[in-house]
Structure 1
Amino acid sequence: MQDDNGSRSAGWTRRSFLQTSAWAAAGALSLPHARAASTAFTPSWSSLVDNYRVPDWFRDAKFGIWAHWSAQCVPEAGDWYARHMYLQGHRHYDHHVRTYGHPTKVGFMEIQNRWKAENWDPEALMDLYVSAGARYFVALANHHDNQDCYDSKHHAWNTVRVGPKRDIVGTWANLARARGLRFGVSNHSAHAWHWFQTAYGYDPEGPLAGQRYDAYRLTKADGRGTWWQGMDPQALYTGRNIVIPDGITTIRTANEWHEQNDRVWDEKAPPQNPAFARQWFLRCRDLIDSYRPDLVYFDNSGLPLGQAGLDIAAHYYNASMAWHGGKLEAVINAKVLPAERRAGLVEDVERGFREGIEPLPWQTDTCLGDWHYDRSIFDNHQYKSATMVIHRLCDIVSKNGNLLLSVPVRGDGTIDADERKILGEIATWMGRNSEAIHGTRPWRTFGEGPTRVAGGMFSEHASQPFTAEDIRFTSKQGALYVIALGWPTSGVLRIAALAEDSALAPGTIERVEALGATDSLPFTRSRKGLEVRLPEGLAGAIAVALKISGAGLA
């Protein structure tokens, strides 16, 4: 039988986990929120698509900031450290052996305990994010390394017990809401069952060739007398799901095996380990019910783990309606959705763009640097600039999207000087021009200009930088906003879409003003376009936003 995700998955049926006696016996029906919530949604794609509508808060917010922060930031070596440190020949393996010891003895669980967040000042960071114009904040709840960053009831490997000894998610949530931000969480742990299998491997070459790494040999009993006494390493590393066989003797062959087996981005539940999906469901439901997020980001193509993901989605939407007196305020982000499923959630396009206006709201998530903190990016001053961030924000908003920006955090809880400078420059621009961003909707066309972006996931690197000839449009409350992505050398901005015979703008233009000023700007309108003389005080601006008033423009 195929599940409602359209794929055969490890014995799950179309029935929800919550409908099975085995699932009920595991305690899944005992949560008061699950009983009290509205039942407008059932755990099927048809129910999600037919009943979901994107809440106005998300459509109005436009810009969010994300703390993609976990123990993998401790080595300051970039993303996916917990996987790569177990791959002999990888730079993360070399760094780990040199800095901490060999993974047969010092595994990633030890790095999780080294994450102390000793210099974390979340109040000051949240103030920075607010000043930069963020209207929602997202905290990483867990990554593929399978540590929960909250006071987890169903997973001992959490930040209250291991590492920081703090409820990271709870702290972020309180501070964000106190400042009027909507609060979200990101959940990446559904991939842990295959992503983390390198921890069960071994060196194929060298003096320790064939000796298995820590995950393969450690049990709960081995923790007696250690910092992790009472916790089971197999619950962290997820068990032997896809273990590399003995006998591989070259690094190249081992890497090929991992690429073909445990590196595959698999959204199904592990075939021989159904307990993983049950445990994931309990952890995720606990996260939702304990912290009541406005947004849940899944790092998945579609919903995670077959029926488990559908059950969580239905539970979350129903719970949101119960929390808000029948009003649905919840947003779920997921990726690579077929067209027929996009209405059931908000599709996320990782590090990518859209080529035109999308009929449904969507989101891009990207990062100033690498997802986990990488000191080399700071040392070499290679972050995305404030100009790049603002230009991408304007392009995305003009096409009915939101931008979620990750600002990498060091293991100690601080951000670096370059990141602070970038946030300050974003804050300056947003302080003057956010009227053209927040609360807006797409206009009749997204924009004009020579630069074309490449659409789709991971397309940002294939797109050329925007120029002053690139213009983006938004609208709000009868006004049209025109954003030039740079300063035209002549100081005069020509907008072809607003020519006097344009079918896009058949009405009259009565007033043009630069945001942040009250004076009307001189303009002329001809068959070539609307020409506006820009204020000299804005020369060199990252982007120039104009507000245009008149009949029939918006």
Structure 2
Amino acid sequence: MLFTRRRALQLMASGASALALRPSFAQQSASLPIAAGPFKGTRESLAAYTVPAWFAEAKFGIWSHWGPQSAVEYGDWYARTMYIQGSSEYYYHVETYGHPSKVGYKDLIPQFKAARWDPDHLMDLYVKAGAKYFFSMGVHHDNFDMWNSKYQPRWNAVATGPQRDIVGEWKTAARKRGLRFGVSEHLSNSFDWFAPAHTSDSTGPLAGVPYDGTLSDYADLYHDYSGMPANFAKTAEAMGRVAPTWWKLQYFNRVKDLIDQHQPDILYTDGGIPFDEYGFSLVANLYNVSAARHNGAVEAVYTSKTRTDCETGTCALDRERGVLDDISPTPWQTDTCIGGWHYKRGIKYKSAKKVIDLLVDIVSKNGNLLLNFPLPNSGELDYEEMVTLNGITAWMQTNSEGIYATRPWKAYGEGPAMKVVIPSNGKEFDPNEGRKPDLGPTDIRFTTKPGILFAFVQGWPGAEAVITSLGTTSAQNPPKITSATMLGHDAQLKFTQSSDALRVKLPGNRPSTADIGIALKLTTA
């Protein structure tokens, strides 16, 4: 795309510096301005990175995937699918608000008020539930920044909607309670993702009438497609990351502004590292900012959903709604949700049992669980969300000793669920975690601390827990067990370790969270 006077004026209006207006600047990675520190914006430099110890010890985080699309309370990707004729969101939008040629996403953003949002109250709930880190949405594909954005001055949470720095208030609440703080950015996909807003109905009385995404006055929200191929809006893939150079530079400036203002401990990107030198420079900036805050030690984590990004240093692997099949030598993360990503009225949520099954399986494989509780427009958790959160809280208050600061054992587990193989879809988004059955009393997962082996029995087995992996002739060559207790129960438990299994006699008073699972604490010789 030619670097036109119109584009220069748009960049200046959005807060871009004079330096950012030079085309050569956008083409030279060495010129991208990043904080001084141990890393440069190249893949080779980032290969020296290692994931900090705190991330491997934290194990459980909670995420608020919340923004203007939540105001509609009709699910994820609403700002895109409301422009796709035939979709349920399109029909809902036409019936509720009007046709998208007349009432568009720009008109819904002011409805995002966060009228009863209390970040301190919510953070207290999340800390009680056992979260060791918290994530705020930074910016979704909808191009709306949830902080006081220097480079998106009209469409941010301080300028419109709640008129509050959502990221900043979440950060203050989290760090006040000793939690690590993360932000998610989904901006790199936005240019393609918003393409349907630049189209029109193909049938009906308004066929051919452009949707409001084509209005030049709102190009700072829906993007400026001048200079793009004529059919781009109809052919662009939602997560295609096909964008002109000026957009890649704007992406860099905005996410760097997010990092510089809020200095997150974790930055999540929705996909792999985007746009080559722009993405590498953002990762380097994140790590260098962290090093400056921590006397030279890099305490920050960047997550990528592309395995090749994280094979040598660089980042931590993230699996959206997916779980690895075995133990990873390096820490990784599953991000998932108790329901949908953005709030939708009437949706069925994951039970506390499903969440804890996921958590112990993930932790047994050297991973972390990042769990989204989608807030409605009000900013308050609904009743059913509180049911799930309270169930997690009750279980974690008894059993979290076997979760935090643990490492994998020789095998991650045993039991019938290990034989249930649901193939990955081969993409960054892998829905297998929602299709796996609940774990039961013969499904065991293991974690360790020095001199201790934790065995999570994912259901109440009755009078006795039987663990075949700890039989003396097991292929795992297990250690000798010298004592056994159950977390939440102080008394020593009787046990026998024979050739075929370890058998532990369980107490008669069944714990209230036993149907979710119990944790046996086994000391080893």
Q: What TM-score, normalized to structure 1?
A: 0.85
Paired residues for 1:161-310 under 5 Å: 161-219=159-217, 233-240=218-225, 261-268=235-242, 270=243, 273-300=244-271, 302-310=272-280
Q: What residue in structure 1 maps to residue 489 of structure 2?
A: 517
In structure 2, what is the Cα distance between the partners aligned to 1:506 and 1:70? 49
Q: What residue in structure 2 maps to residue 335 of structure 1?
A: 305
Asked whether the 8 Å contact 2:26–2:246 carries over to 1, the reply is no
Cα distance per residue 1:167-223 (max 9 Å; x no partner): 00000000000011000000001111000011111111111111101121242xxxx
The alpha carbon displacement at 1:236 in A equals: 1.1
C-alpha change, 1:242 and 1:337, in structure 2 (3 Å) is farther
The alpha carbon displacement at 1:114 in A equals: 1.2
Amino acid at match of 2:447: T
The alpha carbon displacement at 1:505 in A equals: 4.4
Asked whether the 8 Å contact 1:407–1:419 carries over to 2, the reply is yes
The alpha carbon displacement at 1:264 in A equals: 4.8
In structure 2, what is the Cα distance between the partners aligned to 1:337 and 1:504? 28
Does residue 402 in structure 1 map to residue 375 in structure 2? no
In structure 1, what is the Cα distance between the partners aligned to 2:481 and 2:32? 62
After superposing the two structures, state which structure 1 stretch, 233-242 or 159-168, moved more.
Answer: 233-242
Which residue of 378, 390, 396 maps to 1:424?
390
After superposing the two structures, state which structure 1 stretch, 114-123 or 180-189, moved more.
Answer: 114-123
Cα distance per residue 1:274-307 (max 9 Å; x no partner): 211111111111100110100000001x201222
SS of the residue 1:443 aligns to:
coil
Asked whether the 8 Å contact 2:310–2:317 carries over to 1, the reply is no
The alpha carbon displacement at 1:503 in A equals: 5.0
Does residue 141 in structure 1 map to residue 138 in structure 2? yes
SS of the residue 1:86 aligns to:
coil
Q: Which runs of 5+ in 1 are unaligned?
A: 1-16, 220-232, 247-256
Q: What residue in structure 1 maps to residue 518 of structure 2?
A: 544
SS of the residue 2:142 aligns to:
coil
C-alpha change, 1:418 and 1:244, in structure 2 (3 Å) is farther
The alpha carbon displacement at 1:265 in A equals: 2.4
In structure 1, what is the Cα distance between the partners aligned to 2:392 and 2:127? 11
In structure 1, what is the Cα distance between the partners aligned to 2:93 and 2:475? 62
Amino acid at match of 1:404: L
The alpha carbon displacement at 1:29 in A equals: 7.2
The alpha carbon displacement at 1:102 in A equals: 1.3
C-alpha change, 1:137 and 1:55, in structure 2 (3 Å) is same
In structure 1, what is the Cα distance between the partners aligned to 2:170 and 2:238? 33
Q: What residue in structure 2 maps to residue 3 of structure 1?
A: none
C-alpha change, 1:506 and 1:349, in structure 2 (3 Å) is closer
Identity, % of aligned positions: 44
C-alpha change, 1:314 and 1:57, in structure 2 (3 Å) is same
The alpha carbon displacement at 1:41 in A equals: 1.4
Asked whether the 8 Å contact 2:192–2:241 carries over to 1, the reply is no
In structure 1, what is the Cα distance between the partners aligned to 2:51 and 2:85? 45
In structure 2, what is the Cα distance between the partners aligned to 1:104 and 1:262? 20
After superposing the two structures, state which structure 1 stretch, 342-351 or 535-544, moved more.
Answer: 535-544
In structure 2, what is the Cα distance between the partners aligned to 1:420 and 1:492? 33
Amino acid at match of 1:22: S
Asked whether the 8 Å contact 2:310–2:316 carries over to 1, the reply is no
Does residue 58 in structure 1 map to residue 24 in structure 2? no
Cα distance per residue 1:219-238 (max 9 Å; x no partner): 2xxxxxxxxxxxxx101111
Cα distance per residue 1:118-162 (max 9 Å; x no partner): 111111111111111100000000000000000111111100001
Amino acid at match of 1:464: P
The alpha carbon displacement at 1:353 in A equals: 0.8
Which residue of 304, 313, 319 maps to 2:283?
313
In structure 2, what is the Cα distance between the partners aligned to 1:82 and 1:153? 23
Q: What residue in structure 2 maps to residue 253 of structure 1?
A: none
Which residue of 378, 386, 401 maps to 1:435?
401
In structure 2, what is the Cα distance between the partners aligned to 1:459 and 1:371? 16
Does residue 413 in structure 1 map to residue 399 in structure 2? no
In structure 1, what is the Cα distance between the partners aligned to 2:69 and 2:327? 36
The alpha carbon displacement at 1:504 in A equals: 2.9
Q: Which runs of 4+ in 1 moved over 6 A?
A: 28-31, 241-246
Q: What TM-score, normalized to structure 2?
A: 0.90
Q: Which runs of 5+ in 2 are unaligned?
A: 1-18, 425-429
After superposing the two structures, state which structure 1 stretch, 528-537 or 364-373, moved more.
Answer: 528-537
Cα root mean square deviation, aligned? 2.3
Cα distance per residue 1:339-359 (max 9 Å; x no partner): 773532001000011111011
Asked whether the 8 Å contact 1:352–1:455 carries over to 2, the reply is no
In structure 2, what is the Cα distance between the partners aligned to 1:495 and 1:69? 42
The alpha carbon displacement at 1:487 in A equals: 1.1
C-alpha change, 1:441 and 1:241, in structure 2 (3 Å) is farther
